Amino acid sequence: MEKKKKVIEVEINKEFCKACSYCVDSCPKECLVMGEELNSTGYNFPVFVNQDDCTGCGACGFLCPDIAIEVYEVL
């Protein structure tokens, strides 16, 4: 029987982001890329582009120094 795939939600709070791109660097599956849009303080922030490959490892959320990312598993 095929194993049911985990459904992961990665929420990025763009207003807290300061564009360090640590999350992009730390994602083993290249699910995040830095976007072009700017937040109200003038930083561009990452976008979650690859929902299918995301394993929910949580690395992006753990290593973000500004606590701008939250990773959830949908139960």
Partner 1 sequence: MRCTNEEVISASPLRVFCILLLEEDVLQREVSKGRKMEDNNKDLRRLISGRPKCFMIAGSPLCAGCQHGTISRIIGEVIDDLGIVGKTIAVGGVGCHSMLVMSASKFDLTTALHGRAPALGTGIKRGTDGKAIVFTLQGDGDLAAIGMGDLINATVRGEKLTTIFFNNAGYGTTGGQMAPTTLIGQTTTTTPSGRSPDTGGFPIHVAELMAGLAGVAYSARCAVNTIAQYKRTKKAVRTAFQKQIDNIGYGFVEILSACPPLLKMRPTDARKWFEKHMFAEYPLGEFKNVDETKIQYQVET
Q: Could you say which residues in the range 34-53 bind ligand SF4, by CB under 6 A?
A: 45-46
> Of these partners, partner 1, ligand SF4, none, which one is at the site of residue 38 (CB under 5 to 8 Å by kind)?
none
- Quickly list H helices, the chain: 22-26, 59-63
Q: Is 33 a binder of ligand SF4 (CB under 6 A)?
A: no
Q: Across-strand partners of 9? A: 72
**CA-CA-CA-CA dihedral for 75, 50, 40, 68, to nearest 10:** 50
Contacts to partner 1 by CB under 8 A: 8-9, 11, 15-16, 18-22, 25-26, 43, 56-67, 69-75
